Structure 1
Amino acid sequence: MMTDTTPHPLSLRGFLMLVLAGSAATIAFELYGEVISPLLGGSRLAPVPLAGSVFKALSGFQSREAANFLHYFAGCIGYPLGFALVARPLWQKFMPGLRWALVAVAFGIVQWVFALYVMAHLIAGQAPFLGFTGITWAALWGHILYALVAIGLTHHFLLKRSA
């Protein structure tokens, strides 16, 4: 039987690993959204304008700087902490035998729903899932890629090395 010696996500080591994994995943998301999706004939992702509309809905102010901060904070810190503090404990409790890649795909889909339904629609007032246009599906694949990179790195650096 293996003992879980994974550092707590709020310890300095755990938090730094989450930020590094989230940063790498954000780079992958940006590369996919700005380069790969358009090269494959898909839509270009526009997460910063979406974050800007959320910021404006919540504050009444338009700020590109705040939109950039919101987008990068969510990618580098928010989503990784959400995984570590909510999704990972649920995974370990209810489906500990499930492979990390399947958990990552599910987490990516949850992120996609959160971004395109909760944030874009419920908060910013845009069409649900941005009207199910090309950007909707590019965002789905972008969020799945993000989650695969973030959770893959987290799994490798935090779980494999501590086992």
Structure 2
Amino acid sequence: MSSHITLRNLILAGLAGEIAFEAYACLVSPLLFGVALGPANLIVALGNITAGIALPYWAGFIIHFMIGAVGFSTFVWITHLITKANLILSGAIAGFVLWFVAQGVLAPAVGRSFMMGFGAYTQSSFIGHVGMATLMGYVLLKLGSSKALKTA
């Protein structure tokens, strides 16, 4: 296998992680934490604040899903390359970073408190982001994306 990852594998891993994240956000989080996660609302708010664009919720959902399906899985891969950790651990690390960016940087950028006060939403978001990115790392591993690093 070549030393690069395929776009196909990144997209498949990203789709698996994003689908799992959205299912968790809408179905599991309300049962465990009493809150449904709504990352599309963050995208809508960012579009309004940064560009003055009034995005409908469905557009925010699609944008977040597309960023997650390609960008987040790519971030898992980059974390793997930088840390030399296995893909599953790289996913967990990347998920932690993504969670911090969402709750500690982007949420305050749209007027929320830092880490949204570490309440139920933030705690659930932690599980969602770390779980999503860990799953992405697992899928990348199963698709054989790390063979080049193992043999190098």
TM-score (norm 2): 0.85
Mapped to 2, the partners of 1:46 and 1:109 lie a distance apart of 18
Aligned match of 2:68:
75
Aligned match of 1:117:
104
Percent identity for Structure 1 against Structure 2: 26
Aligned match of 2:29:
37
Aligned match of 2:133:
147
Q: Which moved more, 1:63-72 or 1:140-149?
A: 63-72
* Runs of at least 5 residues in structure 2 that lack an aligned partner in the other structure: none
Q: Out of 90, 101, 104, which is 1:103 matched to?
A: 90
Mapped to 1, the partners of 2:89 and 2:146 lie a distance apart of 17
For residue 160 of structure 1, report the CA deviation from its aligned partner.
Answer: 6.0
One-letter amino acid of the structure 1 residue matched with residue 69 of structure 2: C
Structure 2 counterpart SS, 1:8: coil
* Runs of at least 5 residues in structure 1 that lack an aligned partner in the other structure: 93-97
Mapped to 1, the partners of 2:53 and 2:117 lie a distance apart of 25
Equivalent residue pairs, number:
148
Cα deviations by residue, 1:74-122 (Å, 9 ceiling, x for unpaired): 21111112222x3121022xxxxx443332222111110111122222x
Mapped to 2, the partners of 1:70 and 1:127 lie a distance apart of 24
C-alpha contact (below 8 Å) 2:80/2:87 kept by paired residues: no
How big is the alpha-carbon RMSD for the aligned residues of Structure 1 and Structure 2?
2.0
Q: Out of 117, 120, 138, which is 1:134 matched to?
A: 120
Q: Following superposition of structure 1 onto structure 2, how do residues 47-66 of structure 1 map, counting pairs within 5 Å?
A: 47-64=39-56, 65-66=58-59
Mapped to 2, the partners of 1:17 and 1:46 lie a distance apart of 26
Q: Following superposition of structure 1 onto structure 2, how do residues 15-34 of structure 1 map, counting pairs within 5 Å?
A: 15-34=7-26
Change (3 A) 1:119 1:41: closer
Q: Out of 5, 8, 16, which is 2:4 matched to?
A: 8
